[in-house]
Amino acid sequence: MEKVRVNLKKTEDRSYEILIGEDILKKIPLDLKNKKTVHSYVIISDSNVASLYGQKLLKGLTNSGLNSHLISFPAGEVHKDRDTKARIEDEMSKLKIGRDSCVIALGGGVVGDVAGFVAATYNRGIPYIQVPTTLVACVDSSIGGKAAVDTPYGKNLIGAFYQPWRVYIDVNTLRTLHEKEIREGLAEVIKYGVIKDKNLFEYLEKNIDHIFSFNTDALIHIIKRGCEIKGQVVELDEKESNLRKILNFGHTIGHAIENISDYKISHGEAISMGMVTEGKIALELGFWKLDGYERLVSLFNKTGLPTKPPHSLDLSRMINAMKLDKKARQRRIEMVLPRKIGAMVEVDGSYGIKIEEGLIRSILESS
Ligand SMILES: NC(=O)c1ccc[n+]([C@@H]2O[C@H](COP(=O)([O-])OP(=O)(O)OC[C@H]3O[C@@H](n4cnc5c(N)ncnc54)[C@H](O)[C@@H]3O)[C@@H](O)[C@H]2O)c1
Ligand SMILES: [Zn+2]
């Protein structure tokens, strides 16, 4: 037998910068002009964000002499699908967008996920820039390189790991968001406090009102910490072999709640309920003290996020959904649990802890 070896072990620097501030949107054209030789830019956005900020960004790029286009699709999670991706790709092909082009994802997490996935596969991959415009996108979906679309069989089932080339966060764009969208993002920021940063948690306890009144310093502070925490975790464990699992705090139960409510309960609300319920499990197992749990509940109350799953949700369906979750191993339910505000429990070097179904059931029954 003859043997030919294809040697692919190479180290590639995929590091990128996240720029956060006021009026960043206006500064993007000049920054890009000085940074990279790109033949054309394709802004991908949804119908809401395209009219709020897309046209302005397009004008700014064009006025700076950068060859640019804007492609938008209808807003909403229902459009985060393969059809939307294909339509965008066809439009890009019609525009003769080549390999020397760059995608700009301008919008919330839906836009970031679709545009990132388009960039990952168009011409076998072209660079992309994230310009997140929701708090969720600023602190979560724009960092970490997960891009995907939903299918009738589940959320985020088809996708890729694909890191952006840059991230620009203009906190002024958040001012047009509804309070509900701010709460959605805060659920993830509170999670970062619990899993990694007690100072961030304390900051939130003291400054929730400033965030809801769009105080620039407060927004920049929490977004910067959020990006740093998610960035550090992803740097150490990009493909989620262990440490990255801590980002799933509240998500084992949260995803099950979202799923069996047919997504009527939003992600932020579901993970808040999930974090409190998983926090109760950690309390029951003696991992953390009542004080930490009570502070968590009280911060969610202050933020206006729910802490208990509605009684109308069927417990057996909820547990079944947890067993079918991507994170479950051999249908054993796994969770990450807090040790105190700012640190998670590690058992035998692993953050993922197998939890008995009976315990989850009894905690949920008593909620
Ligand atoms: N890739 C990841 O790691 C990751 C992480 C978390 C979430 N996600 C994904 O992100 C999505 C949720 O993101 P989202 O909460 O940003 O939802 P979204 O993108 O649907 O945005 C919510 C709504 O706000 C509108 N909007 C966006 N920016 C606005 C602005 N500045 N002013 C006014 N309206 C604005 C949008 O048009 C939309 O109607 C989900 O699909 C989820 O799966 C991905
Ligand atoms: Zn989440």
Pocket test for ligand 1, best of 22, 181, 234, 249 (most atoms within 8 A of CB): 181
Average pLDDT in the chain? 95
Reply yes or no on whether the pLDDT at 29 is more than 80: yes
Neighbours of 301 (CB within 10 A): 12
Which ligand has the shortest distance to the CA of 141? 1
Beta strand extents in 34-188 (DSSP E only): 40-46, 68-73, 101-107, 128-132, 146-151, 154-161, 166-170
**Lowest mean pLDDT, pick from 3-7, 26-30, 70-74, 150-154:** 3-7
The phi and psi torsions of 202 (rounded to 5 degrees) equal -65, -40
Distance 191 CA to ligand 2 centre (A): 9
Rounded to an integer, what distance in angstroms lies between the CA atom of residue 282 and that of residue 356?
12
Tokens of 151: 């299918």
Distance 185 CA to ligand 2 centre (A): 9
Reply yes or no on whether the pLDDT at 338 is more than 70: yes
Reply yes or no on whether the pLDDT at 13 is more than 90: no
Q: Which residue would you say has higher pLDDT here, 320 or 11?
A: 320
* CB of 44 sitting under 6 A from ligand 1: no
Please give the pLDDT value at position 95: 97
Question: What are the Cα distances from residue 164, in Å, to 127, 311, 316?
Answer: 7, 41, 40
Query: How confident is the model over 337-358, as a mean pLDDT?
Result: 95
Give me the percent of the chain exceeding a pLDDT of 90.
Answer: 88
* CB of 111 sitting under 6 A from ligand 1: yes
SS3 call for 165: coil
Catalytic (active-site) positions: 124, 146, 188, 230, 240, 244, 248, 251, 255, 267
Q: What is the pLDDT of residues 85-125, one digit of tens each?
A: 999 999 999 999 999 999 999 999 999 999 999 999 999 99
Please give the pLDDT value at position 325: 76
Please give the pLDDT value at position 329: 67
Please give the pLDDT value at position 324: 83
Q: For residue 133, which of 106, 161, 167 has the smallest C-alpha distance?
A: 106
Reply yes or no on whether the pLDDT at 135 is more than 90: yes
User: Is the pTM value of this prediction over 0.85?
Assistant: yes
Please give the pLDDT value at position 336: 97
* CB of 177 sitting under 6 A from ligand 1: yes
Rounded to an integer, what distance in angstroms lies between the CA atom of residue 17 and that of residue 28?
13
The amino acid sitting at 273 is M
Please give the pLDDT value at position 34: 80
**Residue whose structure tokens are 């395209």:** 50
Distance 268 CA to ligand 2 centre (A): 7
Contact 121, 93 (CB under 8 A): no
Q: How confident is the model at residue 326 (pLDDT cuts 50, 70, 90)?
A: low
Reply yes or no on whether the pLDDT at 327 is more than 80: no
Please give the pLDDT value at position 6: 86
Tokens of 173: 């764009």
Query: How confident is the model over 304-325, as a mean pLDDT?
Result: 93
Q: For residue 196, which of 161, 146, 231 has the smallest C-alpha distance?
A: 231
- Domains belonging to the chain, first-starting first, are 17-176 (3.40.50.1970), 179-365 (1.20.1090.10)
The amino acid sitting at 28 is I
Query: How confident is the model over 317-331, as a mean pLDDT?
Result: 81
